Amino acid sequence: MISTLHIKNIGIIEDLTIDLNEGFNVLTGETGAGKSLIIDSLNLVCGSRFSKEIVRKGEDFCLVEISIFLPNHEEAIEGTIIVSREVHINGRGSCKINGRLVTVNELKEFMRKIVDIHGQNDNQTIMSKAEHINYLDDFIGESIQIEKKKYLELYSRYNQIKKELKENYGDEKEKQRRLDLLRYQLNEIDCANLKENEEEALEAEHRRMMNSEKIYSCLNEVDSNLSEIVIDGINSSIRALEKIEDIDDEYQGKLSLLKNIYYDVQELSRDISELSSNICFDEDKRNEVEQRLDYIYDLKRKYGNSISEILAYQKEVEEEISKIENLDEHNNRLNCELKAIKEQMLTKSRIMNEIRAKNAQVLNEKINKELKDLEMKNARFYVSIMYEEKDNYTENGLNDVEFLIATNIGDEEKSLTKIASGGEVSRIMLAIKTVLADTDKVPVLIFDEIDTGISGKAAKSVGEKIKIISKKHQVMCITHQANIAAQGDSNYFINKKVENGKTYTTIKLLNEDEVIEEIARISSGDLTKSALEHAREMRKRA
């Protein structure tokens, strides 16, 4: 449900916050007070097109923000989702869901599953032909869902096989081109005879070659220092300690330690000398190393970021070559499986078509009965179900479903989207929503122009049906009809005031006495004793 609606700088609305409740929320007020602006605001936050004329005079932007309580929704944070849209007159704007920036299309798709605004076709899921089969299946319930679940398992595998066959080089020329490329790549990698860690070793060797003069100089310096300074110094120290080693055991221990150091330094000196003698600059060797590194770099550019990745790719190429060379046998198995699955899908599609066709008649009868109650006695609602056994499977089988309507005797049944009258659209939607109240997954329904061209019994019926729907959904309804207002769980009065030469919209949640007075005002225009008594009676019956 929408718990809070905040509107800023739209029309005569400067800054308005509405705290909404569960059930049936009724909005009434004088003409021009700003009721339509509330619908415009909701349309805006649901992703409708923006017109700069909607921005309050003197302001350069408008903002609509709603707080939605959906405890089990994946986007909800502690049950709440904050959705906002800010638009500037220069065309800039932003849409956010829980502070996350989204595109207008993403906002529209998200809100389409949460809010239906009836009377403005843009945000009605029921006006989308693609959704009609889902509405029908939801109405049918378990019998179709069981078959549909089994069908969808087949459909998933059907798509997997089709995708694999498509990727399995169905074209012989393409298969041969791919095979030639893979064999060339495999040969190039094989000829390289790569070894793990080879690149690191070559790079280290190359660094030594490029710095050979510096290395030779430094090693000679170390060797000279060890031989002429360190070793001679340690040797002299050993001879000095040998003269006093018999005096104290401690001197003998230090002498032993110093001799060990002497041997270690001698060994180190020999190693340094050997390293120095091995340093030589070989131009041919350097060229050989550089060529090998260039070869490895070229292979990395083609096949991976490291030798390990290149060798892994080599294995993948070998596997793909093997797969292609044995492809005919593999594809034959897939085609046999696909044929068997299509036969099963066809059987399931036939069963689902029979279930849908049978229940569509029930849905027709129920909705046409609701339309008569809504004073649309000449209207005919019809669920069109097309079924054709072609290889054109969808997630719903082979059915194409569309809701059609004829509003007058002699009229041809047309798509819901071709109905011109906003009042007719709203009442047709109300009839459909009443029948589908238990299965409709959109939690918030907003009815605009629902009372256009009706009064008396029809208005009373409209109010009663909205009340039924409000048991399963949050409903917001703007109305001028007392019979509809009397059904409200929460009644709001929208008013406008003028201060300092500017007009402002205000809204107030009415208490029970104020609700009675508002019903009386709508029904008779005056708060007479008889009007108030009539209002109480209407409220009591509701």
pLDDT for 3-13, tens place per residue?
999 999 998 89
Sorting pLDDT into bands at 50, 70 and 90, what band is 119? low
Residue whose structure tokens are 């046409």: 368
Domain range for 249: 175-325
Nearest in space to 191 (alpha carbons), one of 284, 287, 292: 292
pLDDT at 219: 78
pLDDT at 256: 87
| Residue 420 included in any domain | no
Sorting pLDDT into bands at 50, 70 and 90, what band is 121? very low
450, pLDDT greater than 90: no
**320-335 per-position pLDDT tens digit:** 898 888 888 888 889 9
pLDDT at 120: 45
Strands (E), 407-486: 414-415, 444-447, 474-478
Residue that wins the pLDDT comparison between 176 and 429: 176
* Sequence-separated (6 or more) residues with CB below 8 Å from residue 393: 155, 158, 342, 345, 349
For 7-11, 39-43, 288-292, 356-360, which range has the lowest pLDDT when averaged over its residues?
A: 288-292
| Residue 462 included in any domain | no
Residue that wins the pLDDT comparison between 132 and 424: 132
pLDDT at 361: 94
C-alpha distance from residue 330 to each of 155, 324, 339 (Å): 21, 9, 14
| Residue 476 included in any domain | no
pLDDT at 189: 93
Strand partners, 18: 5
112, pLDDT greater than 70: yes
pLDDT at 209: 74
Q: What percent of the chain has pLDDT over 90?
A: 39
pLDDT at 421: 60
| Residue 492 included in any domain | no
d(CA 484, CA 24): 10
Average pLDDT rounded to a whole number, residues 463-487: 90
398, pLDDT greater than 60: yes
Average pLDDT rounded to a whole number, residues 198-208: 81
| Residue 87 included in any domain | no
Nearest in space to 176 (alpha carbons), one of 327, 333, 316: 327
Give the SS3 label for residue 437.
coil
d(CA 191, CA 250): 66
d(CA 23, CA 31): 25
DSSP letter, residue 401: E
| Residue 284 included in any domain | yes
Q: Is the pTM of this model over 0.75?
A: no
Residue that wins the pLDDT comparison between 388 and 208: 388
Average pLDDT rounded to a whole number, residues 504-530: 89
d(CA 70, CA 79): 5
Q: How many CA atoms lie within 13 Å of 492's alpha carbon, on the beta-carbon side?
A: 23
| Residue 270 included in any domain | yes
Tokens of 419: 């109905």
Average pLDDT rounded to a whole number, residues 32-53: 88
288, pLDDT greater than 90: no
Query: Which letter, b or e, does each residue of 227-252 get, where b requires 16 or more Cβ atoms within 10 Å of its Cβ?
Result: beebbeebeebeeebeeeeeeeeeee
How many helices and strands, by DSSP H and E, does the chain display? 17, 15
Residue that wins the pLDDT comparison between 288 and 88: 88
**CA quadruple 109, 115, 119, 123: dihedral, nearest 10:** 0
Per the CB < 8 A criterion, the answer to whether 447 and 466 are in contact is yes
**168-178 per-position pLDDT tens digit:** 766 678 788 88
| Residue 93 included in any domain | no
Q: Which helix (H) or strand (E) holds 506?
A: strand 502-509
d(CA 222, CA 218): 6
Q: Which helix (H) or strand (E) holds 538?
A: helix 529-541
Per the CB < 8 A criterion, the answer to whether 542 and 489 are in contact is no
> How many domains are there within the chain?
1
Give the SS3 label for residue 156.
helix
Tokens of 136: 């029908």
